[in-house]
Amino acid sequence: MSLRQYEYALAVAEEGSVTAAAELLHVAQPSVSQQIRGLERELGVELFARTPTGLVPTVVGRAFLREAEIAVSASRRARATARAGADELVGELMVAVQMGFGTRQLPGALGALRRRFPRLEVTVFEEPSSAELERLGRRGVLDLALMAACEQSPADAHHLGDEEFVVVLGAGHRQLAVDRVELRELEGEPWVRFDRDSALDGVLLNVLRDNDLTPTTAARVSQTATAVRWAAHGLGVTLVPASAVPHGHEHLVRPVFPVVSQPVIAVVRHGAGPAETALLELLRQETWSEPAFFSPVS
Amino acid sequence: MSLRQYEYALAVAEEGSVTAAAELLHVAQPSVSQQIRGLERELGVELFARTPTGLVPTVVGRAFLREAEIAVSASRRARATARAGADELVGELMVAVQMGFGTRQLPGALGALRRRFPRLEVTVFEEPSSAELERLGRRGVLDLALMAACEQSPADAHHLGDEEFVVVLGAGHRQLAVDRVELRELEGEPWVRFDRDSALDGVLLNVLRDNDLTPTTAARVSQTATAVRWAAHGLGVTLVPASAVPHGHEHLVRPVFPVVSQPVIAVVRHGAGPAETALLELLRQETWSEPAFFSPVS
DNA sequence: GGAGCCGATGAGCCTTCGTCAGTACGAGTA
DNA sequence: TACTCGTACTGACGAAGGCTCATCGGCTCC
């Protein structure tokens, strides 16, 4: 039941004789003969019919060889993929992004990464729950994660910058008149909140508690873009990272006082390879703090 | 570069640790460890990142494992297919039919075969040229062939019956008035003939020569059904096996004098297995000679 | 009937795999 | 801080399997 047996069987079927297959494979004839017989003995089936002029696949042999060819070619692909990975960068990079961090920076970094390493596939888990993130991280599926706080302190955590949080107000909201919203002024407002146990909801709860506000929940959503849209429609106010505000809603956004800010930390997994390092470097080169971005619209 | 290495690597990726993979595979831990290391050494790439809690696939490792899984599953399918073929009948039966022989009998036999062995796939090469047939036969691709004459005389050739040839006349043809057409009466008629070097054209040429007729070629076609249709439209007359006449054209058909008849011989390949034998037996059970079938329509 | 082709078989050598023991390293805990 | 537990790795040894050489049996073609 080895790949070699498959390759030998395929060569025999292709060449029509053990001898020809043997010289194609650069081995002696008995070797091929033994492998074929061993395969047939192991499977309990005659894969080839013996004719005076060579070996010919039987009915069941053909069915077998069809699958065997898939196995062999897949093996070749696996080998080629890995060997290519030695020089070039080939593979599948798994990235998790919490709290909408890097919404503005990630596309640029991933685009640059794709230009430099076209055969590198990137999968991004956007705003997974804490439990999901934990699970992915524990199982080692993740190569890089963007998050606010990290329990694992070692050198694998890199501080990229800080993300300022902003409130999104409904169209016509009275607080749109000021440049920076005092959080206490939002007493009594209904809030568009986030999924229970999500990091974003945790930040929001902390902010409300620090400013002696009682949270009135208008709705809970999973994605920051949804929260912004619902808040814009007047369902309530919400608090999201500045870079997570979609285009077209900037006029409904205000920075807050006291300032709410979270560090953006890139956690690279243990034993990071060149792919992870490259993406981390590209992320570093992006601009991470633009304090004047959300100045009041004129 | 062996299947075992793939299986080990997949188990390690699945379980997240060498130890767990080892007990899943019912082998000792160092064995798995060595195989993984050997694989990485051979490929020159680190497939797994070592963490204190186990092994985790790297970026290139994931790409490799994706292909490896295909190889392993294909191998399992190959094995399952072959082992199933030991009890049941599984596989791909290749049949060649020359000169439209068995057009009436084959569907019945193949249907019965399919009912008895549902997992047996049958591929029929219809009316291949002599060169094609020769090539297929030489390479041992064919399991069974229906033909008129066979150069290989041994016990692998089974006489199923005889196929009487009939002429197909154009609608309104004067010879439709008689029950059996004298071939000499067709002097000067244009003929719908068959591809050069085809067995059918060989039979036709022999018949014409034996009856001192000079062949006037109206057209050459590959398939008997086409020849019948064209003859029915008055393009010329043609000579085909009786069973090859499609439904709806029986009234344009006449037996000939002197009788033209060819033996229908089933040639089974060397080392025939149960599938070939079963099909041969089913073909035998079909009725092969129906002399009164083409009596004149009233 | 002999020459030439085919695959099958057996003996010997060598590589490889598997196991057992022991080592090294990091994490969690008292 | 030290101890224990978990992890993977390494080296030595025995066993199994692959490869090669030489040989045999069967068939075809001349």
Q: Where are the domains of chain B?
A: 3-87, 91-160+263-294, 163-261
B55 touches strand D (CB under 7 A): yes
In this structure, are residues A120 and B88 in contact, taking their beta carbons and an 8 Å threshold?
Answer: no
- The whole-angstrom separation of Cα B91 and Cα A61 is 7
pLDDT tier, B140 (very low <50, low <70, confident <90, very high otherwise)? low
Q: Tell whether the model's pLDDT for residue A201 goes beyond 80.
A: yes
CB contacts, 8 Å: B15 with chain A = none
Amino acid whose CA is nearest the C1' of C17:
B31
**pLDDT top residue among B262 and B270:** B262
Q: Which residue of A has its CA nearest to B77?
A: A67
Average pLDDT, chain B: 83
Cis peptide before B258 (omega within 30 of 0): yes
For A141-150, B38-47, B157-166, which range has the lowest pLDDT when averaged over its residues? A141-150
Q: Which residue of A has its CA nearest to B72?
A: A71
B52 touches strand D (CB under 7 A): yes
Tens digits of residue pLDDT in B22-42: 888 888 889 999 899 988 988
CATH fold label, A3-87: Arc Repressor Mutant, subunit A (1.10.10)
Average pLDDT, chain A: 83
Note the pLDDT of residue A294: 40
Scanning the structure block, which residue is given the tokens 């082992």?
Answer: B83
Which run of H or of E encompasses B69?
helix B59-87
H-type helices in chain A, by residue range? 3-15, 18-25, 29-43, 59-87, 106-116, 130-138, 199-210, 224-232, 274-285
- The whole-angstrom separation of Cα A58 and Cα B92 is 9
In this structure, are residues A266 and A158 in contact, taking their beta carbons and an 8 Å threshold?
Answer: yes
pLDDT tier, B255 (very low <50, low <70, confident <90, very high otherwise)? very high
In this structure, are residues A125 and A223 in contact, taking their beta carbons and an 8 Å threshold?
Answer: no
Average pLDDT over residues B237-266: 89
CA neighbor of B282 nearest in space, from B95, B107, B98, B133: B107
Tokens coding A99:
């709290």
Q: Name the β-bridge partners of B181.
A: B256
CB contacts, 8 Å: A51 with chain B = 140, 270-271
Average pLDDT over residues B8-18: 88
Q: Tell whether the model's pLDDT for residue B260 goes beyond 70.
A: yes
Tell me whether residues B1 and A77 touch, CB distance under 8 A: no
Note the pLDDT of residue A178: 92
CB contacts, 8 Å: A95 with chain B = none
Q: Where are the beta strands (DSSP E) in B52-105?
A: 54-57, 91-97
**pLDDT top residue among B243 and A35:** A35
CA atoms within 13 A on the CB side of A12: 34
- The whole-angstrom separation of Cα A166 and Cα B182 is 102
Which chain A residues in 2-21 sit with Cβ < 7 A of strand C? 17-20
Nucleotide nearest to A50 (CA to C1'): C7
Distances from the Cα of B89 to the Cα of A9, A59, A231, angstroms: 20, 9, 66
Note the pLDDT of residue A271: 66
Tell me whether residues A47 and B82 touch, CB distance under 8 A: yes
For A17-21, B2-6, B138-142, which range has the lowest pLDDT when averaged over its residues? B138-142
A166 three-state secondary structure: strand
B58 touches strand D (CB under 7 A): no
- The whole-angstrom separation of Cα A87 and Cα A95 is 22
Q: Tell whether the model's pLDDT for residue A155 goes beyond 70.
A: no
CATH fold label, B163-261: D-Maltodextrin-Binding Protein; domain 2 (3.40.190)
List the B30 CA – D11 C1' distance (angstroms).
11
* Topology alike, domains A91-160+263-294 and A164-261: yes
Minimal CA separation from B214 to chain A, in Å:
43
- The whole-angstrom separation of Cα B264 and Cα A280 is 75
Note the pLDDT of residue A117: 82
Which chain B residues in 86-105 sit with Cβ < 7 A of strand C? none
What one-character DSSP code corresponds to residue A237?
B
Note the pLDDT of residue B180: 92
CB contacts, 8 Å: A152 with chain B = none
Tens digits of residue pLDDT in B39-58: 898 888 888 888 888 888 88
Q: Tell whether the model's pLDDT for residue A255 goes beyond 90.
A: yes
CB contacts, 8 Å: B70 with chain A = 70-71, 74, 77-78
CATH fold label, A164-261: D-Maltodextrin-Binding Protein; domain 2 (3.40.190)
**pLDDT top residue among B155 and B67:** B67
Note the pLDDT of residue A6: 93
> Which of 3.40.190.10, 3.30.70.100, 2.40.50.100, 3.40.50.970 is the CATH number of B91-160+263-294?
3.40.190.10
The set of residues, in sequence order, having a beta carbon less than 8 Å from that of B259 and lying 6+ positions away, is B164
Tens digits of residue pLDDT in B278-298: 888 888 888 877 543 443 322
Note the pLDDT of residue A254: 94
For A35-49, A110-124, A235-249, B30-44, which range has the lowest pLDDT when averaged over its residues? A110-124
Tens digits of residue pLDDT in B181-212: 999 999 888 998 888 778 888 889 989 999 99
Note the pLDDT of residue B139: 60
Note the pLDDT of residue A191: 92
What one-character DSSP code corresponds to residue B48?
E
Nearest CB neighbour to B81, from listed A64, A78, A90: A64
Minimal CA separation from B80 to chain A, in Å:
9
Q: Name the β-bridge partners of B50.
A: B55
User: Cα-atom radius of gyration of chain B, to the nearest Å?
Assistant: 30
Tokens coding A210:
């620090």
Q: Tell whether the model's pLDDT for residue A169 goes beyond 90.
A: yes
Q: Is A234 left (phi over 0), alpha (psi -120 to 50) or beta?
A: left
CA neighbor of A240 nearest in space, from A251, A252, A225: A225
Note the pLDDT of residue B296: 32
Protein-covered nucleotides of chain D (CB closer than 7 Å) are 6-12, 18-22, 26-28
pLDDT tier, B131 (very low <50, low <70, confident <90, very high otherwise)? low
In this structure, are residues A146 and A266 in contact, taking their beta carbons and an 8 Å threshold?
Answer: yes
Average pLDDT over residues A5-32: 89
B4 touches strand C (CB under 7 A): yes
Scanning the structure block, which residue is given the tokens 């146990």?
Answer: A197
Q: Which residue of A has its CA nearest to B88?
A: A60
